[in-house]
Structure 1
């Protein structure tokens, strides 16, 4: 006989009740895909990027919460939040495997429908970089036509980055690490910060929380770098060395981004150990 979950108490009628779809707003989410061509693979392209934006939304939620906890000196919850960010980046990495099932011929069928739109213009990606500390003011350009996007980015560069709050914990522990004066610039290597981290890594038992905090940031950047690398290889596999739809040099631009380091002190100290 067919199994009937209602006989064991499962709710089967949702007239006047909140259902799964209601709670998640699935009517909006599942009707937000609007291909502009008849190409079969355009839906894949749209879903890939929309789901990536959802994961980035969660990453920003966790990064901002972690920054608040670190600033307050409450590091244990921040460890969990930063570990989650690394797992989110791992999820974003896996998504490239799905997009890479699309061939150059299939992408060509709908590429003109994109117009000038490009992932280069992702507001949330830019905010992730700004929160982490890679604050390149030139990258505000694609968002300046929308005040509701540009204003939060401008507000972000007025406050300490995630890494700034972490170096604040070094100062709280007695290390001579100066606070940055120019918050609207990317992080540059700081000899005093590198020396402080080297001391932490030489004696992790004494500085366990700082040691763990540093490794959580390295985990995040490790996965973030892999995400950028997978982006490069996916783009090269699909469009070769054509210019990007948003006007960038495509693969050549993305390769330059591979050289950007979010937390240079934490990587450079390893040479000294």
Structure 2
């Protein structure tokens, strides 16, 4: 008989000792997930702040997986797999940018009502966020000072600092294809290089290198979304707390503005002037 409707199961086999009633709850650890929010003030907006930042951290982890996967694929000269990982990462980045919508309309009065309970806590201290920055090539060894009392986080960040970045591996692909790419220090922040820009100019103007041009565009899609994230962060803070110093000791707006104005993969932007 066609068109028959099947209702979902309402009883389940499995381990009931876990204290959860459904396979879904056990699979996603639902009870643990909903027990992680602990506001320290009576201000309702603090709960929104906690949930949003926790969601961001989970998305950081997902993005880290995609970017490390893309880096490994580039190292293996598998541009198709690298492009797929970057594309999946673009969707994660889009959700991350949109997540600021949950915080952007918080009034200064609402934020000030719970800001004292944050103490020195700041998103800048997120080790997963810093891993993403290091992966992009935005590197600074002095930032590891924050984790000197957290050996696991310190070791992970130290290892990342000594590992070629996502962009380094993309440039290595260009080098293996015969383009002239200078070798720079792995642990240093990537700065604009005229020789790298010249290599990308060749990529974009030589039809035989069309696959590398597609890689360049996928990387630029990633870079543009990083800029969107930084700009959205800046505008959200500007609306919510104005020019006050950040909770983590930064200069607040001016520090965020500097970050928002800094291009990721700079040669992919500057080469546009010559195309």
Q: Report the TM-score, using the length of structure 1 for normalisation.
A: 0.93
Gaps of 5+ in 2: 16-21
Map 1:132-211 onto structure 2 (within 5 A): 132-180=136-184, 182-203=185-206, 205-211=207-213
Name the Cα RMSD after superposition.
Answer: 1.4
Structure 1, residues 76-100: CA drift from partner, whole Å, max 9, x if none? Answer: 0111110121221111111111111
Judge which range, 100-109 or 12-21, deviates more.
Answer: 12-21
For 2:7 and 2:243, locate their aligned partners in 1 and report how far apart those are by CA, in whole Å.
59
CA apart distance, 1:46: 0.2
Note the alpha carbon deviations across 1:207-252, whole angstroms, 9 max, x for none: 1211111111110110110110110111010111111111111111
Aligned partners of 1:168 and 1:179 also within 8 Å? no
Q: Which residue of 2 aligns with 1:3?
A: none
Question: Which one is further off, 187-196 or 9-18?
Answer: 9-18
Q: Contact between 2:124 and 2:248, CA under 8 Å: does it hold in 1? A: yes
Which residue in 2 is equivalent to 1:259?
261
Cα distance, 1:26 vs structure 2: 1.4
Cα distance, 1:139 vs structure 2 = 2.0
Answer yes or no: is the 8 Å Cα contact 2:105–2:240 preserved in 1: no
TM-score, structure 2 as length reference:
0.93
1:109 equivalent in structure 2? 113
The answer to whether 1:229 aligns with 2:231 is yes
1:27 Cα deviation from its structure 2 partner: 1.4
Partner of 1:268: 270
CA distance in 2, matches of 1:8, 1:156: 50
How much has 1:163 moved relative to structure 2? 0.6
Shift of residue 14 of structure 1?
2.5
1:14 pairs, out of 12, 21, 26, with 12
Aligned residues: 265
Contact 1:96 1:231 in 2 (8 A): yes
1:246 aligned to which of 245, 248, 254: 248
- Kindly indicate whether the alpha-carbon contact (under 8 Å) linking 1:121 and 1:142 is maintained by their aligned counterparts in 2: yes
By how many angstroms is 1:9 displaced? Answer: 5.8
> How far is 1:12 from its partner?
1.4
CA contact (8 A) 2:226 2:264 kept: no
Post-superposition Cα deviations, 1:51-88, rounded to whole Å, max 9, x if no partner, equal: 00111100000000110011001110111110121221
